[in-house]
């Protein structure tokens, strides 16, 4: 057995020699954005004592100075003996829901609503009658060690039955931990119902369904229906025996998180045309009103969550979350103070907007300064990073444009654009507009927080079942890649200016 | 600036209407179709390809340049055929079975065209059978397969096996975001392209 001391937390782990670091460090907050393939620098750690051999990935991702200073990529390393490792400290702020619900129903007992995000998990305990929140708990999605994006997860699950079983077990165990955390001792028997929401991949990986058909054209889920259990079937003991329902999917990758988002925002009852954008690791969007809704998912990739960007990271200590100009100098705000370790989504959007204003970034995405733009040493953006941002922007922009076209609407017809999820809450809307990520006016934008979690809470009530059914019936799903003109829309939306005219053919 | 240089410049800028107009002008000035292709279009596509590789141009610029070249080629193709100019070789391109993403494949196709190859585009979600049937009909020199997803990339292996089993002699070149040189080697692909613009070099050196 080898002892690994983690700094600064002081936690000491004992693991057999030969254990992969990614198997033991993920639960201590270390992230593996590329799925541990050695393609990024997301899992940087520092060896302060002990010996960790230099891997090929270290050589290709780190410079000599960094390697000499003890920096390594955790994903490719395995334990050879006792170690003291420095980990970036983790203080992630996961979005839960603080909205109040005013009407009281006769639903009895307690309920727990859980949002299974690709990156993060959020659970809330409520009284079903009032939906008053009695407790909240959050965690990282433990499947994150198999990659930040959905496709890496599916790829891992498809490699073997053992893998997919492990992934189901991991998420079920983590959810059970969250439930235990929010449920006060002695009130277990009052727990009546647990509702879960997430995208289709999260649904299938939780319920142990095959993701084979979801991974390939035409990207159809194995099941659109809710996955229903009694808690004991899942091995969730000592919490009474509530019903557990992973709510139904909408189609393709669009899952119950969007169904819940529609329920929470009331889009299905809206007289006016509105849109809901949930721009997480996988971008999902809905457009329409009470006469009908259309939804789609856009594979924006995780750039706005910091993955795929050379020095990108989650919004945790050391991340640059704001970039602005002060006395003509570029300034940054570092979460938790200190020197910058990387940049998170909001900082990235700020930086690109500022770069455009300063003429450092051209409208076609070229970096004027050459290959790098140093924001605050050692933090820099590279030409490649800007290209990643363009791909993400292109996917989101094309998705929304095509959905609007399908609904025969213009952007200006939308009374409201609801921004759900962390993106809507932390990204600076004016900067997102500056870089063309949101092509609507400030008056149209309404951040709605974690609408998926709020919808999941509403779904704890008996009467919501018929409402969810009618939302499903009135909402159609389109697969964007099959829509004629997708390629041109995608390419046009990659520019940081309106360039539709270039692609009108 | 002479007309050929203007064609090249407008092709790089992606101005399709101007390329059409200038190609007709060059022909009326007496330039041979083969000369317009070699000295204006192929040079222009190389410029945009090099810029792409260097990070100075991106997907939209490639696509509009490609569109401009297609506009010019439409005029030149019948003339080239009449004058007996031979393509450097024939290349099939297709997005792998299970995958719908065609931007990378389209860019590769246009770079091959821009380098003087005859390109047969089999579209997206292309099965072994489709590659094999078409190969029996046309006998290409190269078969290019593209994939954007890690989950569909794995289908390339089966296609390569099937092509070999069916006796198709064409060299197989693969590419796409998740594809690496090591992966290409491990599944028996003959050639690998790191980007759409790299395909031409790989094929030329084969």
Residue A422 reports pLDDT greater than 90: no
Q: How far is CA A155 from CA A40, A151, A167, B1, in A?
A: 18, 6, 12, 53
More confident residue, B133 or B1: B133
Instruction: For residue B105, give the chain A residue with the closest CA.
Output: A487
The answer to whether residue A56 neighbours chain B at the CB level (below 8 Å) is: no
Residue A157's pLDDT is: 96
Q: Looking at A100-104, A370-374, B90-94, which range is the least confident one?
A: A100-104
The vertex-A403 CA angle with A399 and A404, nearest 5°, equals 120
pLDDT at A498 over 70: no
pLDDT digits (tens, 9 = 90+) for A173-207: 999 999 999 999 999 999 999 999 999 999 999 99
- A494 has a chain B CB within 8 A of its CB: yes
Maximum pairwise Cα distance, chain A: 67
Integer Cα distance of A471 and A450 in angstroms: 19
Taking residues B70-82, report their average pLDDT.
91
B103 with A491: Cβ contact below 8 A: yes
Model confidence at A28: pLDDT above 60 = yes
Question: Which pair of structure tokens corresponds to residue A222?
Answer: 């194995």
Sign of CA dihedral A425, A430, A434, A437: positive
The residue of chain B with its CA nearest to that of A366 is B56
Closest-CA residue of chain A to B55: A383
Could you tell me if A47 lies within 8 Å of chain B, comparing CB atoms? Answer: no
Q: Which residue of A has its CA nearest to B51?
A: A366
Residue A90 banded pLDDT, cuts 50, 70, 90: very low
Give the pairing of strands A83-86 and A44-50.
Answer: antiparallel
CB contact under 8 A, B98 and A505: no
In this prediction, residue A148 carries a pLDDT of 79
What is the layout of strands, in order, in the sheet containing A2-7? Answer: A12-15, A2-7, A83-86, A44-50, A71-73
For residue B56, which residues of chain A lie inside 8 Å, CB to CB?
366
Q: Which pLDDT score is estimated for A195? A: 98
The pLDDT value given to residue A100: 62
- The pLDDT score that the predictor gives to residue A503 is 64
- Residue in A283, A229, A222, A224 with CA at minimum distance from that of residue A256: A224
> Are the CB atoms for A147 and A153 separated by under 8 Å?
yes
Cβ contacts of B124 on chain A, cutoff 8 Å: 217
Question: In terms of Cα–Cα distance, which of A174, A19, A388 is closest to B177?
Answer: A388
Residue A332 β-bridge partners: A323
CB contact under 8 A, A494 and B152: no
For chain B, give the mean pLDDT.
93
B29 has pLDDT over 90: yes
What pLDDT sits at residue A43? 82
Question: How much of chain A, in percent, has pLDDT values that exceed 70?
Answer: 93
Tokens of A356: 């455009």
Q: Which runs of E-coded beta strand occur in B63-141? A: 90-95, 118-121
Q: Does A503 touch chain B (CB under 8 A)?
A: yes
Determine the residue among B100, B107, B148 to mutate to test chain A binding: the one whose Cβ has the most chain A Cβ atoms within 10 Å.
Answer: B100
Q: Count helices and strands (H / E) in chain B.
A: 11, 5
The residue written with tokens 């006395």 in the block is A327
Contact yes or no for A494 and B151 at CB 8 A: no
Q: Is A498 on the interface with B (CB under 8 A)?
A: no
Q: Do A505 and B150 touch (CB under 8 A)?
A: no
How far is residue B67 CA from its own chain's centroid? 13
Contact A492 B151 (CB under 8 A): no
Give me the pLDDT at residue B158, please: 97
How would residue B91 be classed by pLDDT, with cut points 50, 70 and 90? very high
Structure tokens at A147: 């990659």
* Average pLDDT of the residues in A447-472: 94
Question: Which member of B57, B63, B150 has the closest CB to residue A155?
Answer: B150
pLDDT of the residue at A99: 67
pLDDT the model gives residue B92: 97
Q: Is the dihedral of CA A424, A425, A430, A436 positive or negative?
A: negative
Nearest by CB: B58 against A365, A371, A505: A365
- State which residue of chain B sits closest to A362, comparing Cα positions: B56
Min Cα–Cα distance to chain A from B86, Å: 31
Contacts of B64 in chain A (CB under 8 A): 502-503
- H helices within A49-160, ranges in order? 56-61, 64-68, 150-159
Q: What is the DSSP string of A226-295?
A: -EEEEGGGGT--SS---EEEEPPP-BTTB-HHHHHHHHHHTGGG-SS-EEEEEESSSEEEEEEETTEEEE
Q: What is the rounded distance in angstroms from the CA atom of residue A156 to the CA atom of residue A147?
A: 9
Mean pLDDT of B40-45: 93
Residue A505 binned pLDDT confidence (cut-offs 50, 70, 90)? very low
Burial B11-41 (b: 16+ CB within 10 A, else e): bbbbbbebbbbbbeebbeeebbbeebbebbb
At B101, the pLDDT band (50, 70, 90 cuts) reads confident
Mean pLDDT, rounded, for A73-99: 74
**Residues from chain B contacting residue A366 (CB–CB below 8 Å):** 55-56
- Interface probe, candidates B13, B48, B150, B178, chain A, greatest A C-beta count within 10 A: B150
CA distances for B179 relative to B153, B175, B194, angstroms: 7, 6, 8
- Per-residue confidence (pLDDT) for residue A305, from 0 to 100: 72
Contact B60 A371 (CB under 8 A): no
Tokens at residue A373, please? Answer: 């733009």
Q: pLDDT tens digits for A217-250? A: 889 999 999 999 999 999 999 999 999 999 999 9
Minimal Cα–Cα distance from A168 to chain B, Å?
19
How far apart (Å, rounded) are the C-alpha atoms in residues A302 and A422? Answer: 13
- Work out the minimum CA distance from B124 to partner chain A, whole angstroms: 10
Please report the pLDDT score of residue A332 as a whole number: 95
For residue A481, give how far its alpha carbon lies from the nearest alpha carbon of chain B (Å): 7
β-strand pairing of B118-121 with B90-95: parallel
Chain A / chain B CB contacts < 8 angstroms: 66
Q: State the Cα–Cα distance between residues A405 and A424, nearest whole angstrom.
A: 23
Residues 6 or more apart whose CB falls under 8 angstroms from that of A248 comprise: A224, A225, A226, A256, A259, A468, A472
**CA separation for the pair A87, A318 (Å, rounded):** 12
Which residues of chain A does B102 touch, with a Cβ-Cβ cutoff of 8 Å?
Answer: 487
Percent of chain B's residues with pLDDT above 90: 82
- Give the model's pLDDT for residue B21: 97
Residue pair B156/B187 in contact by the 8 Å Cβ criterion? yes
A215 at B interface, C-beta within 8 A: yes
Structure-block tokens of residue A429: 């809307």
Residues of A in contact with B60 (CB under 8 A): 364, 491-492, 494-495, 499, 502-503
3-state secondary structure of A305: helix
Please, is A285 exposed, middle or buried when counting C-beta atoms within 10 Å of its C-beta (0-12, 13-18, 19+)? Answer: buried
Question: pLDDT tens digits, residue range B48-74?
Answer: 999 998 889 999 999 999 999 999 999
pTM, entire model:
0.82
- Give pLDDT, residue A499: 61
């Amino acid at each position: 057995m080898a002892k690994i001391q983690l700094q600064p937390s002081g936690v000491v782990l004992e693991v057999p020699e030969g254990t992969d670091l990614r198997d033991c460090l993920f639960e201590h907050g270390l992230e593996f954005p590329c799925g541990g393939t050695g393609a990024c620098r997301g899992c940087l750690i520092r060896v302060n004592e002990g010996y960790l051999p230099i891997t090929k990935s270290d050589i290709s991702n780190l410079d000599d100075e960094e390697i000499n200073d003890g920096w390594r990529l955790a994903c490719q390393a395995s334990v050879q003996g006792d170690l003291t490792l420095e980990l970036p400290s983790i203080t992630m702020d996961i979005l839960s829901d603080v909205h109040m619900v005013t009407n009281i129903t006769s639903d009895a007992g307690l309920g727990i609503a859980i949002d299974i995000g690709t990156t993060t998990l959020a659970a809330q305990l409520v009284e079903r009658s009032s939906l008053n929140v009695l407790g909240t708990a959050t965690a990282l999605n433990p499947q994150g060690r198999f990659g930040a994006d959905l496709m890496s997860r599916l790829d891992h699950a498809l490699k073997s039955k053992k893998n997919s079983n492990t992934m189901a077990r991991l998420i079920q165990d983590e959810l059970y931990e969250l439930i235990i955390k929010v449920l006060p001792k002695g009130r277990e028997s009052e727990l009546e119902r647990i509702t879960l929401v997430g995208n289709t991949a999260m649904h299938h990986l939780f319920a142990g369904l095959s993701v084979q058909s979801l991974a390939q054209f035409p990207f159809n889920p194995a099941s659109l229906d809710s996955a229903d259990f009694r808690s004991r079937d899942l091995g969730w003991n000592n919490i009474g025996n509530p019903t557990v329902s992973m709510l139904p999917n909408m189609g393709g990758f669009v899952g119950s998180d969007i169904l819940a988002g529609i329920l929470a925002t009331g889009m299905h009852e809206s007289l006016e045309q509105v849109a809901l954008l949930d721009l997480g690791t996988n971008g999902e969007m809905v457009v329409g009103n009470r006469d009908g809704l259309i939804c789609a998912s856009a594979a924006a990739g995780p750039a706005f969550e910091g993955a795929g960007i050379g020095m990108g990271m989650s919004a945790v200590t050391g991340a640059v979350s704001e970039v602005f100009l002060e006395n003509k100098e570029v300034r940054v705000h570092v979460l938790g103070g200190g020197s910058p370790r990387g940049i998170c989504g909001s900082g990235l959007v700020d930086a690109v907007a500022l770069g455009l204003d300063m003429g450092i970034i051209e409208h076609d995405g070229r970096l004027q300064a050459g290959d790098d733009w140093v924001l605050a040493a050692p933090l820099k953006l590279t030409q490649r990073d800007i290209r990643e941002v363009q791909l993400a922007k292109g996917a989101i922009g094309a998705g929304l444009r095509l959905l609007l076209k399908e609904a025969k609407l213009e952007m200006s017809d939308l009374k409201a654009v609801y921004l759900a999820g962390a993106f809507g809450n932390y990204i600076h809307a004016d900067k997102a507009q500056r870089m063309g990520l949101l092509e609507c006016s400030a008056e149209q934008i309404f951040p709605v927080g974690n609408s998926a979690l709020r919808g999941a809470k509403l779904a704890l009530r008996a009467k919501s079942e018929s409402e969810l059914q009618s939302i499903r019936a009135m909402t159609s799903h389109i697969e964007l890649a099959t829509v004629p003109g997708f390629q041109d829309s995608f390419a046009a939306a990659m520019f940081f200016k309106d360039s539709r005219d270039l692609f009108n053919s | 600036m002479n007309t050929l240089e203007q064609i090249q410049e407008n092709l790089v800028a992606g101005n399709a209407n101007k390329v059409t107009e200038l190609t007709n002008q060059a022909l009326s000035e007496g330039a041979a179709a083969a000369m317009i292709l070699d000295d204006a279009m192929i040079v222009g596509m190389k410029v945009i390809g090099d810029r792409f590789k260097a990070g100075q141009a991106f997907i939209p610029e490639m696509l509009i340049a490609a569109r401009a070249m297609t506009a010019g080629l439409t005029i030149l193709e019948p003339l080239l055929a009449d004058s007996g100019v031979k393509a450097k070789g024939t290349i099939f391109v297709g997005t792998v079975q299970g995958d719908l993403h065609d931007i990378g494949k389209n860019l590769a196709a246009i770079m091959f065209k821009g380098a003087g190859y005859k390109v047969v585009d089999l579209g997206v979600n292309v099965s072994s059978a489709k590659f094999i049937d078409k190969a029996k009909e046309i006998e290409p020199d190269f078969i290019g397969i593209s994939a954007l997803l890690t989950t569909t990339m794995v289908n390339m292996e089966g296609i390569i096996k099937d092509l070999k089993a069916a006796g198709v002699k064409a060299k197989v070149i693969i590419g796409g975001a998740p594809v690496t040189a090591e992966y290409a080697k491990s599944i028996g692909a003959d050639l690998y392209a790191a980007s759409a613009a790299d395909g031409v070099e790989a094929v030329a050196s084969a």
